[in-house]
Chains A and B, each alone.
Chain A
Amino acid sequence: MTATGSDEMTAEALVLDEALTMSDLETLYETLKCVAATEQDASIDASAVTSVDTASLQLLLSFVRQLDDNGCRVNWCGVSDAFVKTADLLDLTRDLKCAA
Chain B
Amino acid sequence: MSIDLSEFHDIFFEECTEGLSVMEEGLLTLDKGADVEEINAIFRAAHSIKGGSASFGFTAISGFTHVMETLLDEMRDGRREVTREIVDLLLESVDVLRDMVTAAREEDESENQRTAEVQAKLERVLAGQAEAEPEAEAPAAAGAGSDSAASPAEAAPETEEPVQDADGTPAAAAGWKISFAPHESLLRSGNDPARIFRELERLGRLEVASDSADLPLFNAITPENSYLRWDLTLYGDIAEADIRELFSWVEDECDLTLTPFSAVEAVPAESEPAAPAAAPAEAAAAPAPQAVPESVAPDAAPAEVAEVAAKPSPAAAETEPKAAPKPAAKKQASNKESGSIRVGIDKVDALINMVGELVITQSMLSQISSNLEEGTTKNFDKLLDGITQLERNTRELQESVLQIRMLPISFSFSRFPRLVRDLSKSMGKQIELKMTGEHTEVDKTVLEKIGDPLVHLVRNSLDHGIETPDVRREKGKPETGVLELCAYHEGGDIIIQVKDDGAGLSRERILGKAVEKGLVSENEDLSDERVYNLIFMPGFSTADKISDVSGRGVGMDVVRRNVRDLGGNVTINNNAGGAGSTVTIRLPLTLAILDGQLVRIGQETFIVSLVSIVESLQMKREMINSITGQSELYRVRDEYIPIIRVNRLFGTREGTEDLLDGLLVVVESDGQRVGLFVDDLLGQQQVVIKSLETNFKQIQGISGATILGDGTVALIMDVPGLIQKHFESCKRADSGRAAAA
Whether, in the assembled complex, A3 has its beta carbon less than 8 Å from a beta carbon of chain B, the answer is: no
Contact of B318 among A51, A66, A94 (CB under 8 A): A51
A91-B223 contact in complex given A18-B322, A100-B304, C-beta closer than 8 Å = no
**Inter-chain contact A61/B223, CB cutoff 8 Å:** no
Q: Kindly list chain A residues whose C-beta atoms are within 8 Å of the C-beta of B314.
A: 85
> Nearest Cβ distance between residue A5 and chain B, in whole angstroms?
20
**Inter-chain contact B318/A58, CB cutoff 8 Å:** no
- Residue of A whose beta carbon sits closest to that of B232: A91
Q: Kindly list chain A residues whose C-beta atoms are within 8 Å of the C-beta of B321.
A: 18-19, 50-51
Q: How large is the interface on B (under 10, 10 to 19, 20 to 34, 35 or more residues)?
A: 35 or more
Task: Apart from A23-B3, A23-B4, A92-B212, list 18 A-B contacts with CB within 8 A.
Answer: A18-B321, A22-B224, A23-B1, A26-B223, A36-B219, A50-B323, A53-B192, A58-B227, A59-B223, A61-B212, A66-B218, A84-B286, A85-B318, A88-B286, A89-B286, A90-B228, A91-B230, A100-B304
- Report Cα–Cα, A62/B227, bound state, in Å: 10
**Inter-chain contact A55/B208, CB cutoff 8 Å:** no
Q: How large is the interface on A (under 10, 10 to 19, 20 to 34, 35 or more residues)?
A: 35 or more
Q: Kindly list chain B residues whose C-beta atoms are within 8 Å of the C-beta of A29.
A: 221, 223
A93-B299 contact in complex given A22-B1, A85-B308, A85-B318, C-beta closer than 8 Å = yes
Q: Of the 9-residue stretches B150-158, B193-201, B664-672, B694-702, which lies at the interface with chain A?
A: B193-201
- Residue of A whose beta carbon sits closest to that of B320: A51
| 21 A-B pairs with C-beta separation under 8 A | A18-B322, A18-B323, A23-B4, A28-B223, A36-B219, A55-B187, A55-B224, A62-B217, A62-B218, A66-B218, A66-B219, A89-B208, A90-B193, A90-B210, A90-B228, A91-B210, A92-B210, A94-B296, A94-B299, A95-B210, A95-B212
**Inter-chain contact B194/A86, CB cutoff 8 Å:** yes
> Nearest Cβ distance between residue B282 and chain A, in whole angstroms?
10
Q: Is the interface of B mostly helix, strand, loop or mixed?
A: loop
**Inter-chain contact B300/A22, CB cutoff 8 Å:** no
**Inter-chain contact A22/B287, CB cutoff 8 Å:** no
Q: Kindly list chain A residues whose C-beta atoms are within 8 Å of the C-beta of B188.
A: 22
- Report Cα–Cα, A61/B197, bound state, in Å: 19
A23-B210 contact in complex given A63-B218, A90-B197, C-beta closer than 8 Å = no
**Inter-chain contact B287/A91, CB cutoff 8 Å:** yes
**Inter-chain contact B1/A26, CB cutoff 8 Å:** yes
Most buried by A among B226, B286, B298: B286
- Residue of B whose beta carbon sits closest to that of A66: B218
Whether, in the assembled complex, A9 has its beta carbon less than 8 Å from a beta carbon of chain B, the answer is: no
- Report Cα–Cα, A25/B2, bound state, in Å: 9
Q: Kindly list chain A residues whose C-beta atoms are within 8 Å of the C-beta of B197.
A: 89-90
Contact of B215 among A19, A36, A61, A100 (CB under 8 A): A61
Q: Kindly list chain A residues whose C-beta atoms are within 8 Å of the C-beta of B286.
A: 84-85, 88-89, 93
**Inter-chain contact A62/B215, CB cutoff 8 Å:** yes
- Report Cα–Cα, A81/B314, bound state, in Å: 10
> Nearest Cβ distance between residue A72 and chain B, in whole angstroms?
12
Q: Kindly list chain B residues whose C-beta atoms are within 8 Å of the C-beta of A53.
A: 187, 192, 194
- Residue of B whose beta carbon sits closest to that of A70: B218
> Nearest Cβ distance between residue B432 and chain A, in whole angstroms?
54
Q: Is the interface of A mostly helix, strand, loop or mixed?
A: helix
**Inter-chain contact A93/B289, CB cutoff 8 Å:** yes
> Interface code B179-207, partner A: CB below 8 Å = 1, 0 otherwise?
00000000110101110011001000000
Whether, in the assembled complex, B216 has its beta carbon less than 8 Å from a beta carbon of chain A, the answer is: yes
Q: Kindly list chain A residues whose C-beta atoms are within 8 Å of the C-beta of B285.
A: 85, 88
**Inter-chain contact B209/A91, CB cutoff 8 Å:** yes
Whether, in the assembled complex, A54 has its beta carbon less than 8 Å from a beta carbon of chain B, the answer is: yes
Q: Kindly list chain B residues whose C-beta atoms are within 8 Å of the C-beta of A63.
A: 218
- Report Cα–Cα, A33/B312, bound state, in Å: 39
Q: Kindly list chain A residues whose C-beta atoms are within 8 Å of the C-beta of B289.
A: 88, 91, 93-94
Q: Kindly list chain A residues whose C-beta atoms are within 8 Å of the C-beta of B210.
A: 90-92, 95
- Report Cα–Cα, A58/B213, bound state, in Å: 12
Q: Kindly list chain A residues whose C-beta atoms are within 8 Å of the C-beta of B318.
A: 50-51, 82, 85-86
> Nearest Cβ distance between residue A25 and chain B, in whole angstroms?
5
> Nearest Cβ distance between residue A12 and chain B, in whole angstroms?
20
Q: Kindly list chain B residues whose C-beta atoms are within 8 Å of the C-beta of A26.
A: 1, 223
A36-B190 contact in complex given A25-B1, A82-B318, A90-B197, C-beta closer than 8 Å = no
